A and B are shown apart, each in its own frame.
Chain A
Amino acid sequence: MFPPRQDVLRLMPEIILSLSGILLMLIEPFLSGARRTLIVTLAALGSGLALVSTIYPATLPGTAFSGLLRIDGFSVFVHVVVEAVAFLVIIGSADYLDREKIQHGEYYALVLFATVGMCVMAGAAELMTAFVGLETSSISTYILAGYRRDVPRSNESAMKYFLLGSFATAFFLYGIALLYGATGTTQLARMTFPTTPGRERLLDLGLGLMLVGLAFKIAAAPFQLWTPDVYEGAPTPVTALMASGPKAAAFALLLRILATVGAAGTFWFWALWVSAALTMFVGNLAAIAQSNVKRMLAYSSISHAGYILVALAAAAASDQVELGVAAVLYYLAVYALMKLGAFIFVSQLGGESERHMEIDDFRGLAVRQPVAAACFALFLLSLLGLPVTSGFLGKFYIFNAALASRLIWLAVLLAINTVIAAFYYLRVIVVMYMRQPNQTWPPAPMPWAVTFVLSIAAAGTFYLGLFPGRVMALATQAALSLPGR
């Protein structure tokens, strides 16, 4: 009855993450005084070890735990993205938490638990497993969003995220129930077209409800309303996590359903098409109007969800999902790095209580902190999609996938949106490089931890922009490892 040993090994990253999270919670109450170093080291070690242990699932593909999990190249790719995000967020949070006087072990434990949930989502081959993973990651991030508990904005962010998130989860769950009723199973691989006509409608309805639930999680229009508020109110390192990790996991889940359940592609296609177009425009047009950089980045992350949706629609449209799936995966990696870098930079620059978040506060930053400003400019240019940066190649692959699936109009809309986005990204860069420095507040020197995170993100952005070969090969391999329709 015991699961075979390789099943446990396949689950190694999740096990390490959970254990280090539990350990952190257990030692937290016993610590006093010089706690910061120990806590941060433990958390970083836990997420780092999990990242390293991904070698086990990578070398042992197959289904695990009687078909609940499917460990393949796809899940490993998403695992690595999500774990790297957790590792960088943990290191990048330490100084922020010190400044806000909320340096607790629970914070890191919650980040680790959220990562467990995302990892499970990436590997789930069964819908209830996916649901439990989704909830593990969501519930942890609800708490993290309200982590500055004496700050009303943070409270509000947590409340909005919680209410709308649970609302979306209920839709997702109802979708699962209907799919279960229609096909008699929750195993994705065994969901075939039901033969009785009534059941078919159940299947469509279930797929629709699941799409609505996941659209909330990835902040796709018309379900993106919560995003700017939640991202703005949450502590900035948490925003960095929310914008990159859970989004990647939710996209992974969407992709897996799309690639495994035959009916999903045809049924979702138009919804994905419309949502992609809407999401791009809503995100970009609203971002132009923002004066708060954190909020602007929040809207920009909505628009990026739109770009990824284009690739998703491309995957849904054609019989060959690989091109679209690989484009999504590549973009997820690219997007996670640049968005994380941008948010971590903003969290450092914001200073105590996140006071300096207006575009005006960034005046002349290039003079005062040339290296950091250059990093931020790099992230913004990459978000915009300038050549040499990773954002360009990411967009290129999406473009490619869209054209291969003959989604000409969607590709045109993507190009138009890139031009619109130039307005607000370039504005920040102009302010940083061409205005006189702001004299009223001195930007704090960059702590080494933040410098470390920024340099990794910047290096990754360059690497993925200049040498896409290896990662793209991995993404394609991952896409091919999906069972296929």
Chain B
Amino acid sequence: MPISYYLALSAVLFGLGVIGFVFKRNIITIFMSIELMLNAVNLAFIAFGLALGQLQGQVFVFFVIVVAAAEAAVGLAIVIVIARNRQSLNVERINLLKL
């Protein structure tokens, strides 16, 4: 299996994540898009590690996973606080601060 297949898949997943981030309106969905992007990167890391014959690529994935988990916990906490204060998770209604 040539490495370009994995890389293409990773790029497509990353692209889907970006599209989801830009077009979705629910915080949780946006958040999931970001996770998708991170996992696309993980795939790229593993593919490169495999192609280069190094273990490093897989070790990096551990770091990404742990950091992503920490990010997820903080994100969830923020979402809970917003849900409690605003009763809505639609980003368009979260508009006290003008963009």
Known A162-B75, A180-B48; further 15 A-B contacts with Cβ < 8 A: A135-B71, A139-B70, A152-B86, A155-B81, A155-B85, A163-B30, A163-B31, A177-B44, A177-B48, A181-B7, A181-B51, A184-B52, A225-B99, A229-B99, A233-B96
**Contact status A159-B34, CB under 8 Å:** no
Interface assignment of B82: CB less than 8 Å from any CB of chain A: yes
Contact with A along B50-92 (1 / 0, CB 8 A): 0110101100100110010011001101110110011000000
**Contact status B96-A153, CB under 8 Å:** yes
Docked CA distance A152–B83 (Å):
10
Known: A170-B41, A177-B45. A131 touches B51 (CB 8 A): no
Interface assignment of B97: CB less than 8 Å from any CB of chain A: yes
**Contact status A166-B86, CB under 8 Å:** no
**Contact status B37-A170, CB under 8 Å:** yes
Residue numbers in B under 8 Å from A155 (CB-CB)? 78, 81-82, 85-86
Docked CA distance A128–B60 (Å):
7
Q: How far is the CB of A154 from chain B (nearest CB, A)?
A: 9
B residues 5-46 near A (Cβ < 8 Å) are: 7, 14, 17, 21, 27, 30-31, 34, 37-38, 40-41, 44-45
Nearest neighbor of B66 in chain A, beta-carbon distance: A132
Q: How far is the CB of A399 from chain B (nearest CB, A)?
A: 33
**Contact status A131-B97, CB under 8 Å:** no
**Contact status A180-B57, CB under 8 Å:** yes
Q: How far is the CB of A32 from chain B (nearest CB, A)?
A: 24
* From A153, A169, A180, contact of B60 by CB (8 A): A180
Docked CA distance A232–B47 (Å):
42
Please provide the 10 A-B residue pairs with the shortest distance between their CB atoms, ordered closest to farther. Answer: A181-B48, A170-B37, A229-B97, A177-B44, A135-B67, A166-B34, A173-B41, A155-B82, A174-B41, A184-B52
Main secondary structure of the interface of A (DSSP, over half): helix
Q: How far is the CB of A96 from chain B (nearest CB, A)?
A: 20
Residue numbers in B under 8 Å from A149 (CB-CB)? 81
Interface assignment of A156: CB less than 8 Å from any CB of chain B: yes
A interface residues with partner B (beta carbon < 8 Å): 128, 131-132, 135, 139, 142-143, 146, 149-150, 152-153, 155-160, 162-163, 166-167, 169-170, 173-174, 176-178, 180-181, 184, 186, 225, 228-229, 232-233
Residue numbers in B under 8 Å from A153 (CB-CB)? 96-97
Known: A135-B70, A166-B75. A128 touches B63 (CB 8 A): yes
Known: A152-B86, A170-B38. A162 touches B78 (CB 8 A): yes
Residue numbers in A under 8 Å from B31 (CB-CB)? 163, 166
**Contact status A177-B41, CB under 8 Å:** yes
Residue numbers in B under 8 Å from A173 (CB-CB)? 38, 41, 64
Residue numbers in A under 8 Å from B27 (CB-CB)? 159, 163
Residue numbers in A under 8 Å from B54 (CB-CB)? 184
Most buried by B among A131, A178, A180: A180
Docked CA distance A177–B17 (Å):
16
Docked CA distance A135–B54 (Å):
25
Known: A132-B63, A174-B40, A174-B41. A156 touches B74 (CB 8 A): no
Residue numbers in B under 8 Å from A170 (CB-CB)? 14, 17, 34, 37-38, 41
**Contact status B96-A152, CB under 8 Å:** yes
**Contact status B94-A156, CB under 8 Å:** yes
Residue numbers in B under 8 Å from A146 (CB-CB)? 78, 81
Residue numbers in A under 8 Å from B40 (CB-CB)? 174
Docked CA distance A449–B71 (Å):
33
Docked CA distance A258–B56 (Å):
24
Docked CA distance A143–B71 (Å):
10
Docked CA distance A367–B21 (Å):
50
Residue numbers in B under 8 Å from A143 (CB-CB)? 74, 77
**Contact status B44-A131, CB under 8 Å:** no
Docked CA distance A294–B86 (Å):
24
Most buried by A among B77, B78, B81, B85: B78
Nearest neighbor of B60 in chain A, beta-carbon distance: A128
Docked CA distance A167–B71 (Å):
11
Docked CA distance A174–B7 (Å):
11
**Contact status B45-A180, CB under 8 Å:** yes
Docked CA distance A153–B86 (Å):
11
**Contact status A142-B74, CB under 8 Å:** yes
Nearest neighbor of B39 in chain A, beta-carbon distance: A170
**Contact status A132-B67, CB under 8 Å:** yes
A selection of 15 A-B contacts at a CB cut-off of 8 Å is A135-B70, A139-B70, A149-B81, A156-B97, A163-B30, A166-B31, A170-B34, A173-B41, A177-B48, A180-B45, A180-B60, A181-B44, A181-B47, A186-B56, A229-B98
Most buried by A among B41, B57, B63, B79: B41
Docked CA distance A149–B7 (Å):
41
Residue numbers in B under 8 Å from A228 (CB-CB)? 97
